[in-house]
Structure 1
Amino acid sequence: MEKAPSKDVWGPTVGVEEEFLLVDAVTGIPVNRADEVVTVAREQLGLHLEHELTGAQVETNTSVCHDAEQVRRELLETRRVVAQAARAAGCRVIAVGAPPLGHATGEITDSLRYRRIAREFGALAEQQLICGCHVHVAVPDRETAVQVCNHLRPWLPVLAAVTANSPFSEGEDTGFASWRSTIWSRWPVSGPPPFFTSWQHYEELCDTMIAAGTALDRAMAYWDVRPATDLPTVEVRISDVAASVDDAVLLAALVRALVARAVHDAGRGVQAEPVAQETLRQACWGAANEGLRGSTLDVLSGRSRPLREQLDDMVRGLMPVLEANGDLPALQRGLRLLDSQGCGADRQRRVFAKGQVEPLLRLLDVDRADSAEPRQTSA
């Protein structure tokens, strides 16, 4: 195993964006209270909370973090404050990829950009009442960014399975671990990206989509990994918002290490495996359907393998990076959680087996400070 260089090489900065769903505190049905929640958070609690596409969603952002433990501290505090703001606004905020209960449409947020998206994409926009987690990791320049995206592409199915957290829709089990992924795939520019030959190639593809009307601008290049539009980062967007902070931190640690290794490899002239886009799409669909306890195509070996084994392969390959950058303890904590409780979809299915709403909402409350499931009480 190759010895890792210094922490300066393996320790790029990282940031995490989380989208959350606002629901009725008792029924769990989505409510359009974002204006009230954002106002309370900003004016009373000092948190710069963001609006999202619909009025039943809000978005949080960490600062630029220097390791996974800083990410964890900030997510714990941010989730606590968001939950406080939601209670003050008369609702509840939950960490879930798609609404488990009630309707799956929302009122479009009253902003120039969102109104334009709704006008151009119609019901597709109204039905995007879904919540993801986006991890940003710093890269040196744009040319490196597209090469990093190429190196990360084969690992997208595994990253999707780690935080799969949306098995239900309208109170029924969809059969998917991540129903959000299926809803998201309706956008014309979504899913695994193509293999980029250069930054110019990336720019030409974006220009083609804008000319075709399938994207209004570069911010609507909704690929699962992409160079960020306004930041010097690579952005991994494939994941559901995580059920717990430790799930989100595990994702951030994995992505940070993958990007650091990819920057190092690209600098040495190591070429990424040019996996076909359609092959990746099949594997990602399988991961969304199965979750971490299932199997999907391993795009590097060409055969179906358990996703948990593929995750082990990823971690083994990243071990020198994780040891050098200090993220190994945070990653191990997240892996223990997955092994003992499964992904978010597994946990939801256990607590909602009898159709009781409150245990499900309690599991998904964003301010649950620990990772343990609620105790099961006898009837």
Structure 2
Amino acid sequence: MTVRIGVEEEFHIVEVETGRLAPRADAVLKGLPEYTFTTELQQAAVETNSGVHETLADLYDDVTGARRRLDAAANAHGLAVVAAGTVPLARAEDTRPTPGRRYRRMVDDYRMVADEQLICGTHVHVDVPDRDLAVRVMCEVSPWLHALLALSASSPFWANTDTGYASWRTMVWQRWPTAGPPGCFADAAEYDAVVQGLVRSGVISDVGMIYYDIRPSAHQQTLELRICDACPRAETVVLIAGLFRALVTDARARLAAAEPPACPGRHEWLRAAAWRAARSGLEGALIDPGTRREAPAAQVVRGLLGRVRPALEAAGDWPTVLGLAERALADGSAAHRIRRTAHHDDLLACTDLAIAETRGEERPRPRRTAPPRRVASPGQAAA
């Protein structure tokens, strides 16, 4: 039986003419079904929730359909949506928190961390009905998650500035107290005890604030991937979903065969690997999980493909995932495409590119007026 998958995507809401954030989530979401479209902490962001699917083709149709509906709703207000980790011209003063007791408490407790939550991610859910098994799989797949981050990297700019990173969203996200790689746990009881301890400490207010790179869902029988940037191209979402499902399937098989654990409980190198992926994307070195040494990104991604090929073939995903992965390596990360646009044009053109890719278009639509030129430094190349 094929393991089912689903995704959650976060989108920035921007003014088309200026590229600035627009706190108009309530207007954009009006009339859209709440089970598919919902709010986020900041009013300049919205989230979509896919259905649950067995095939990547069905997932792709769902994701692109939701994007079309959301784009049409935004366009009716002179706005657009952007699936990217950050948008280049974002400023905290251009948005405001979404009303509600929980969000108000988060703003009061975390201040600038919440104020500057101007980031969007892609989350993938994979069915793992046994919660004890989900916790063990979480540890098993963790050494490979940074490769998925590199594939998603789409946030080189922050507040008009080239950060030098492929995923600056990762750096912003890791300011939350429970972000980053999780620990390894023997079973769900041990994991849940740690989570409840964090809630009792007062550092977080509820279990929904466990922001690990991967976690067992608190309300579904799934394992949830959370490390990735939002992805301009829907094809990248499908690629990451296919790879993550294959990693989970592979891990379950290895655990059933009682193979030695891939992650022996040392997590300092997992955080370092995530930093390396956020810095470099696909354009520099990543950490090879086998050697824990630097290796070209293409080598690490192809190593991941080789590891999970049996799982991909069993699901019928191998041709699709291989083709999407090779295209990603050939085209470079979204961060690379965005930074290249800034080098040749300006930051508003970067936003136009991200809007176009979010819509499934190859290039931005012509502007009605010539905008003021905003030239950004391309920054130093990723190390």
TM-score (norm 1): 0.91
Find out whether 1:360 has 2:350 as its counterpart: yes
In the alignment, the residues of structure 2 paired with residue 367 and residue 177 of structure 1 have an alpha-carbon distance, to the nearest angstrom, of: 17
> Which residue of structure 2 aligns with residue 77 of structure 1?
65
Q: Measured at CA, do residues 286 and 357 of structure 1 come closer, stay the same or move farther in structure 2, by a change above 3 Å?
A: closer
In the alignment, the residues of structure 2 paired with residue 92 and residue 203 of structure 1 have an alpha-carbon distance, to the nearest angstrom, of: 40
In the alignment, the residues of structure 2 paired with residue 278 and residue 23 of structure 1 have an alpha-carbon distance, to the nearest angstrom, of: 37
Find out whether 1:339 has 2:326 as its counterpart: no
Find out whether 1:112 has 2:94 as its counterpart: no
Report the number of matched residues.
Answer: 364
Deviation at 1:265, TM superposition (A): 2.2
1:67-105 CA distance string (max 9 Å, x none): 111111111111111110001123111111013113146
Deviation at 1:320, TM superposition (A): 1.2
In the alignment, the residues of structure 2 paired with residue 164 and residue 134 of structure 1 have an alpha-carbon distance, to the nearest angstrom, of: 14
- 1:116-127 alignment, distance < 5 Å: 116-127=105-116
> Which residue of structure 2 aligns with residue 177 of structure 1?
166
> Which residue of structure 2 aligns with residue 128 of structure 1?
117
Q: Is the 8 A contact 1:76 1:245 kept in 2?
A: yes
TM-score (norm 2): 0.90
The letter of the residue matching 1:305 is A
The letter of the residue matching 1:79 is R
- 1:51-70 alignment, distance < 5 Å: 51-70=39-58
Cα-Cα RMSD: 2.0
Deviation at 1:361, TM superposition (A): 2.5
> Which residue of structure 1 aligns with residue 269 of structure 2?
279
What secondary structure does 2:261 align onto?
coil
Find out whether 1:87 has 2:75 as its counterpart: yes
In the alignment, the residues of structure 1 paired with residue 215 and residue 274 of structure 2 have an alpha-carbon distance, to the nearest angstrom, of: 16
Find out whether 1:203 has 2:192 as its counterpart: yes
The letter of the residue matching 2:340 is R
In the alignment, the residues of structure 2 paired with residue 375 and residue 111 of structure 1 have an alpha-carbon distance, to the nearest angstrom, of: 37
Deviation at 1:270, TM superposition (A): 3.0
- Percent of pairs with identical residues: 36
Structure 2: gaps (5+ residues)? 367-383
Deviation at 1:267, TM superposition (A): 2.7
In the alignment, the residues of structure 2 paired with residue 371 and residue 326 of structure 1 have an alpha-carbon distance, to the nearest angstrom, of: 27
In the alignment, the residues of structure 1 paired with residue 98 and residue 19 of structure 2 have an alpha-carbon distance, to the nearest angstrom, of: 21
What secondary structure does 2:114 align onto?
helix
Q: Is the 8 A contact 1:76 1:367 kept in 2?
A: no
In the alignment, the residues of structure 2 paired with residue 373 and residue 330 of structure 1 have an alpha-carbon distance, to the nearest angstrom, of: 24
In the alignment, the residues of structure 2 paired with residue 174 and residue 325 of structure 1 have an alpha-carbon distance, to the nearest angstrom, of: 39
In the alignment, the residues of structure 2 paired with residue 63 and residue 299 of structure 1 have an alpha-carbon distance, to the nearest angstrom, of: 32
> Which residue of structure 2 aligns with residue 145 of structure 1?
134
Moved more, 235-244 or 360-369: 360-369
In the alignment, the residues of structure 1 paired with residue 61 and residue 247 of structure 2 have an alpha-carbon distance, to the nearest angstrom, of: 22
> Which residue of structure 1 aligns with residue 287 of structure 2?
297
In the alignment, the residues of structure 1 paired with residue 135 and residue 35 of structure 2 have an alpha-carbon distance, to the nearest angstrom, of: 33
Q: Measured at CA, do residues 367 and 36 of structure 1 come closer, stay the same or move farther in structure 2, by a change above 3 Å?
A: farther
In the alignment, the residues of structure 2 paired with residue 363 and residue 268 of structure 1 have an alpha-carbon distance, to the nearest angstrom, of: 47
In the alignment, the residues of structure 2 paired with residue 315 and residue 373 of structure 1 have an alpha-carbon distance, to the nearest angstrom, of: 30
The letter of the residue matching 1:300 is G
Moved more, 97-106 or 283-292: 97-106
Moved more, 348-357 or 221-230: 348-357
Q: Is the 8 A contact 2:25 2:39 kept in 1?
A: yes
Which of 25, 30, 52 is the aligned partner of 2:21?
30
